[in-house]
Amino acid sequence: MNYFNNISYMISHLFLMLFIYLFITHRYSKTATKWICFTSFLLLSITDYIKLNVFPHSDLCYLIITLLQILITQSTGIFISKKRNNKVLFIGLSASNYTIIGSVTAAILYIYTKNIPLALLGNFVVHAIVLLILYHSIRNIWIKQYENEYTKDWWKLCFIPVFFYCSFSCIAFFPYTLYDNPNNILGILFFMLTMIVSYIVVLQYIENDSKQKDIYWKNALFESYIKGLENQYYLVEQSEKNIKILRHDIRHYSSMMNELLNQQKYEEIRNILTHIDAVADEHKVIKYCHHLIANTILSKMMEKSSFFDIDVHLDVDIPKTIVVNDYEFSSVIANLFENAINCVKDFEKEDRYIDIRIHCTNEQLFIQMKNRYKEELTFDSLTGLPKSKKNGNHGLGMQSALSFCQKISGTIDCFCQDEFFYITLFAKF
């Protein structure tokens, strides 16, 4: 019986490591990651041998070994993960739950058939089916959340797999097994089904919530974009009117200058030319960069800065086409610019100052915002970004910038120096 449990658990550990390998993006190379997972598989198998064969009747040994195995499993996920945070712990705990399904299936088949090869085959098949279902139903959702979204309070979601795991263990394995209480089989089958459905529903809900946030920010960006276009259209319209007036009056100016030339009144001619230049420059459309959407957003933000009498220094070089998503890129500019405006708008005039550098090429992206600050800032120890004073988490603007930075595999950094706050985003393509 022990060798049956040994093989059954080895199959479960194999799929456990496979689950962690597939659902976590890797910090190390594929070869190194596979060796780490294989080493963890060997450790889990050795500890199972100690638990099942060396001390088969010791409840204390069973408890200690189980806790050690949990530590090995969760440490493996965190160690190989590119991002070491609560999300990795969530997927590691979830992997432990799903691999219990195969072990329970093997026990059920053995109880009803007494056929060891059939029970082990059923264990393997069920593991493979569950992994395929999860891979095709929730992996893309999960990877998107893991990579791109800064979803807060993931540690709370970790309670879901923890309580499922504890419930599974108490019903199926400890202190009494299914072999001792086969009447629990029907209940645990429904419990397994409940767990699978729960995970799929929870992750789909998280994905829908993220999509709603994306839609909100895109709508906010489009609204700002449309207002910026309306403003530019008004300026173009005014400029056309002035040019028409200037064209109509130019023959009169020409006659006046010819007459003044005859009279050698050169200073008056200079005054007329200065007036013509002033009329030509009046209401002209300012072009901050060649990128249409970014230029529109910058125009809107500069208009807002002017309303608050903020001194803004712009150093912008953005080509007409860029290698990143136009709307996400422009949204980051709008969010960071607006954060800086909100920070300095209530300061004294000499402190209402913002310095912005945005350089984008086909090879790299560099964004830096610099502005005065007076209130003490609190930085997140994990991301290094400032926390909002309202709820202790990042504001939506910072979350948007962090998500964009993660998507393009860039780095984002904040620091304070000489009463100035700096935020820098850099990515090399």
Q: Is the pLDDT of residue 247 over 90?
A: no
Helices H / strands E in the chain, number of each: 13, 5
Highest average pLDDT, of 21-35, 97-111, 209-223, 288-302, comes from 21-35
- Does position 103 have pLDDT exceeding 60, yes or no? yes
| Whole-structure pTM value | 0.55
Residue 36: what pLDDT? 93
| DSSP letter string, 363-393 | SEEEEEEEEE--SPP-B-TTT-PBPPTTTSS
pLDDT per position as a tens digit, 117-144 = 898 898 899 889 888 888 887 787 777 7
Q: What CA–CA distance (Å, rounded) separates 406 from 424?
A: 14
Residue 394, pLDDT score: 47
Q: Which residues lie closer than 8 Å to 126 by C-beta, 6 or more apart?
A: 101, 102, 105
The pLDDT assigned to 33 comes to 92
Share of the chain above pLDDT 90, in %: 16
Strand segments (E) across 353-417: 353-360, 364-372, 411-417
User: 51-60, 224-233, 255-264, 286-295: which has the minimum mean pLDDT?
Assistant: 224-233
pLDDT of residue 41: 93
For strands 411-417 and 420-428, give the pairing. antiparallel
359-406 pLDDT, tens per residue? Answer: 999 899 999 999 988 777 777 666 667 766 554 444 566 777 887 887
